[in-house]
Amino acid sequence: MSIQDRYRLWSENSYFDEETRLELKNIIDPQEIEERFYTDLEFGTGGLRGIIGAGTNRMNKYVIRKVTQGLAECVCDQGEEGMKRGVVIAYDSRRFSPEFALEAALVLARNGIKVYLFEALRPTPELSFAVRYLQALAGIVVTASHNPKSYNGYKVYWEDGGQVPPAKADQILARINARESWLGIETLSVEEAKQLGLLQIIGQDIDEPYLARVHELVLYPELDKQKGKDLKIVYTPLHGAGNMLVRKALAELGFSSVTVVAEQEHPDPNFTTVPYPNPEIPATFELARKYGNNLEADLLLATDPDADRLGVALRTPEGDYVQLTGNQIGIILTYYILSQKKALGILPDNAAIIKTVASTDLADQVAQYFNVRAENVLTGFKFIAEKEKEMEEGGWGSFQFGFEESYGYLAGDFVRDKDAIIASVILAEAALYYQQVEKRNFFAVLDSIYQQFGYYLEDQESLTFEGKRGKEEIALIMDSFRNLDIHEMCGILIGRVDDYEQRMGKDLRTGENYSLKLPRSNVLRYSFAEGGFVMVRPSGTEPKIKFYFSVKGATLEEAEDLLHGVKEDVMFRIAKIRAGEL
């Protein structure tokens, strides 16, 4: 069908509700119609993410229906047992999240599939836990994570609690694409689904066993119980799903001095107090800082709308707050877990950590020091979860901790995705341990790590290119970098270049080519000879191209200068590429 045929179908056919048809008929800009209908919203990296609105390239209930019908057919392929095991559905605080979740539930029920639907918003990691705990075949979470308020999304999980693996995602996509018509996908009513036993509402019956497993991860429960009240924490859920579980998890362990940012405590789909609800950006901590200053809090914690990412800011001796990077949080947690498990005599001989290739190589150095295996995977927490499963099933590694630089962390074996509740608990305990036992704060801990292994500093830049033309711009930048023969950046020699799209690497010092074992992905990584890297890749969930920077210096000042220089070098190259000069 042409763009105009699609537009006429959606704006005229009575299958689409009056609100949808009216929204489309009121569009007067032909380019807006093209953007909404030139393609279908892409089912990639285990789900969808897009701007809310009417059209095939937008997030709406009809797109939800079509995608869910594809998933339903794959569930039905597993026979009656798979249909009885069913699908768990959770959602966050975004616009239409409850409605999209219910729409998916009722499409599944229409196909005879059992559905477990959370009674209210819940974190993404709890959805992962629930799939495993209920022994369901699959899971869905309606969320756009930390994206702007205009977005929503839909992520699919499989029976191990991890995001749907590539082979299964391909099967779902094939079913979605096989259905050419947007019409005729129907739902059951809520009453009928309940009467047939196909819709079960869940909530506290999942919360309690989930929190029980979270509590098992702490290393010093008696210290937490006795001294937890002495650690002053300010917490903001950023209007999202983390509020209840983060507070409950901390309180039950003994962290009773937790103050919630009242203005950001309750769900708000417009996220009115922040530019957008991403704990990576400093603006999300603006209100928390005010609370912290008034209370002289030790820690500021922020979770994103679906509570799978955690941001942290620390109180300085001068009374201000400094936000940690995702890599710094990951290093603190890695060091704390490995060092304290070793001290307690509970670090397994085959212990392993997992991180992404976009995350700091300092973690590899720390792991090596503790004689712990470090596995590197592609960007995206699903790959960390897949590697954890591979270790578990193969019996060749005992997973201790996993992280990615974009504020995602995981410990334990009962969740297969990044988990801000788990991270909040372990981080609070680590802060308490260093405060009470070693009489130092996280700044001192980080500095001692840097002194031992080198000053690694990281940063990231993202360029946003919306729509069809944006995709072409991103492709141009990637192709140009791939074709450039780059041997240094800001005078720092590059030791290796890894092209994960070609699954080939080259050692620039020897000229040797080698194969890469990780799956094919549109990623380029330039590793500096003396430590650190630059990495470039398009985002799998947003209209962005991302650049990751990591440098290693002998001192903090040297590392800061190197980081500034490398970033300037790369941004200059991008400007020349876009101007057609490279």
Q: Does the pLDDT of residue 82 top 80, yes or no? A: yes
**Number of compact structural domains in the chain:** 4
Mean pLDDT of 319-327: 95
Q: Which of 434, 453, 472 is the last residue of a domain?
A: 453
Mean pLDDT of 385-405: 96
Are residue 50 and residue 183 in the same domain, yes or no? yes
CA 419 to chain centre: 9
Q: Which of 400, 230, 231 is nearest to 300 (CA)?
A: 231
Q: Does the pLDDT of residue 541 top 80, yes or no? A: no
Q: State the pLDDT confidence band at 170, using cuts at 50, 70 and 90.
A: very high
Q: State the pLDDT confidence band at 9, using cuts at 50, 70 and 90.
A: very high
- Which tens digit of pLDDT belongs to each residue from 264-312? 999 999 999 998 899 999 999 999 999 999 999 999 999 999 999 999 9
Q: State the pLDDT confidence band at 15, using cuts at 50, 70 and 90.
A: very high
Position 5 in a domain: no
Are residue 119 and residue 157 in the same domain, yes or no? yes
Position 314 in a domain: yes
Are residue 116 and residue 140 in the same domain, yes or no? yes
Q: Does the pLDDT of residue 453 top 90, yes or no? A: yes
Position 15 in a domain: no
- Which tens digit of pLDDT belongs to each residue from 469-486? 888 899 999 999 999 999
Position 1 in a domain: no
Are residue 82 and residue 180 in the same domain, yes or no? yes
Position 9 in a domain: no
Alpha-carbon distances of 338 from 103, 224, 457, rounded to whole Å: 44, 19, 21
Are residue 352 and residue 304 in the same domain, yes or no? no
Q: Does the pLDDT of residue 581 top 90, yes or no? A: no
Q: Which of 293, 323, 353 is the last residue of a domain?
A: 323
Mean pLDDT of 385-411: 96
Are residue 135 and residue 93 in the same domain, yes or no? yes
Q: Give me the CATH number covering residue 372.
A: 3.40.120.10
Give the DSSP per-residue string, 228-280.
Answer: GGGS-EEEE-TTSTTHHHHHHHHHHHT---EEE-GGGTS--TT-TTSSS--TT
Its domain, for residue 415, covers 327-453
The single-letter code of the amino acid at 174 is A
pLDDT recorded at residue 167: 87
Mean pLDDT of 340-355: 98
Q: State the pLDDT confidence band at 406, using cuts at 50, 70 and 90.
A: very high
Q: State the pLDDT confidence band at 399, using cuts at 50, 70 and 90.
A: very high
Q: Does the pLDDT of residue 542 top 80, yes or no? A: no
Told to judge if 2 belongs to the known catalytic residues of this protein, a careful annotator would answer no
pLDDT recorded at residue 46: 75
Are residue 462 and residue 343 in the same domain, yes or no? no
- Which tens digit of pLDDT belongs to each residue from 206-238? 999 999 999 999 999 999 999 999 999 999 999
pLDDT recorded at residue 165: 85
Which run of H or E residues covers position 443?
A: helix 442-453
Query: Which position has the token pair 């380029």?
Result: 524
E-strand stretches of 286-439: 299-303, 310-315, 321-323, 351-356, 373-377, 398-404, 408-410
Are residue 56 and residue 185 in the same domain, yes or no? yes
Position 265 in a domain: yes
Position 28 in a domain: no
The span from the CA of 141 to the CA of 191, in Å, is 22
Are residue 548 and residue 562 in the same domain, yes or no? yes
Are residue 186 and residue 59 in the same domain, yes or no? yes
Please give the torsion angle defined by the CA atoms of residues 283, 285, 290 and 295, in that order, rounded to the nearest 10 degrees. Answer: -170
Are residue 218 and residue 143 in the same domain, yes or no? no
Tell me what the pLDDT averaged over the chain comes to.
Answer: 96
Are residue 392 and residue 522 in the same domain, yes or no? no
Which one from 128, 145, 359, 424 is the annotated catalytic residue? 145
Position 13 in a domain: no
The span from the CA of 162 to the CA of 128, in Å, is 7
Q: Which of 202, 221, 238 is the last residue of a domain?
A: 202
Q: State the pLDDT confidence band at 409, using cuts at 50, 70 and 90.
A: very high
